[in-house]
Amino acid sequence: MLKKLVLFDIDGTLLLTNSSNRRILIDALIAVYGTEGSARDHNFAGKMDSVIIYEVLKNAGLNDEHIAENFTAVKNTYIELLKQRLLPEDVELMKGVPELLTALSSREDIALGLLTGNFEGSGRHKLELPSLNHYFPFGAFADDACHRNDLPAIAVERAYNLTGKKFEGEEVVIIGDTEHDIRCARTIQAKCIAVATGTYSAERLRAHSPAALYDNLGDTEKVVSHIVTI
Ligand SMILES: [Mg+2]
């Protein structure tokens, strides 16, 4: 019987991409808007891809209307370029991730999904390169909402449609590498397991009071037992 819904962030949690990802977004921005805005130095961690695009272009003086007019074009260009140019060697899996996903997916009391600031097209491509997509039958993505805080409720609804179980409160565990993951868990009274494998240090994550905090996901047994008892 299903007891827990575990929702994984992608970047910094399951995997890291090298500088190619940023380069590809820059090229898509230039192709569509004629400027990369502040994309070269912008902090992307924990942010929705859609929000990142607006932020970097506003920093170059573009207004909301101009950005919105070409938003679908830049999104599609970015995803298309990512599929062409982001290769398996550009992706580093975080420690313990394959073992953890194998362990969690073999349990009948756990459902797995994604909760990520990636667009579905880009997130699925990143996961496809190390063959992780099959672990995640559904997810909530940047396509679904303007704010990460709106994604947990969407993910719960999709889990219900797929499994027939309405996961509530502490039955939902969100695993992520930034304060944004911790904050969005609170919107549905879910538990957040923070992991310091992204750009945030353990100390910085601890300040946001996650339910649990790990340096990495390397200890499969410990993480699984924590998830089921949290
Ligand atoms: Mg992340």
Q: What is the DSSP string of 154-180?
A: HHHHHHHHHHS----GGGEEEEESSHH
CATH class of domain segment(s) 4-17+91-229: alpha beta
Q: 15: CA distance to ligand 1 center in Å?
A: 9
pLDDT tens column, 25-47: 999 999 999 999 999 988 888 78
Q: Give residue 33 CA to ligand 1 midpoint distance, Å.
A: 26
Separation of CA 199 and ligand 1 centre (Å): 8
- State the Cα–Cα distance between residues 79 and 122, nearest whole angstrom: 5
Report pLDDT for 43: 86
CA distance 171 to 184: 15
- Which band of pLDDT confidence, cut at 50, 70 and 90, is reported for residue 136? very high
Q: Measure 177 CA to ligand 1 centroid, in angstroms.
A: 5
Stretch 217-222: mean pLDDT: 96
**How do the domains of the chain map onto residue ranges?**
4-17+91-229, 20-88
Which two structure tokens, joined as six digits, stand for 173? Answer: 């565990």
Q: How far is the CA of 9 from the centre of ligand 1 (A)?
A: 6
Ligand 1 center–CA 32 separation, angstroms: 26
Q: Give 108's pLDDT tier (boundaries 50, 70, 90).
A: very high
* DSSP H or E run through 223: helix 220-229
Q: Give the model's pLDDT for residue 115.
A: 98
Least confident of 43-47, 182-186, 195-199, 220-224: 43-47
Task: Write the pLDDT tens digit of every residue in 152-170.
Answer: 999 999 999 999 999 999 9
Q: How far is CA 201 from CA 22, 213, 228, in A?
A: 21, 11, 25
Q: Which fold has domain 20-88?
A: DNA polymerase; domain 1 (1.10.150)
Query: By C-alpha distance, which of 19, 18, 20, 40 is closest to 29?
Result: 40
Token couple for 123: 């997130």
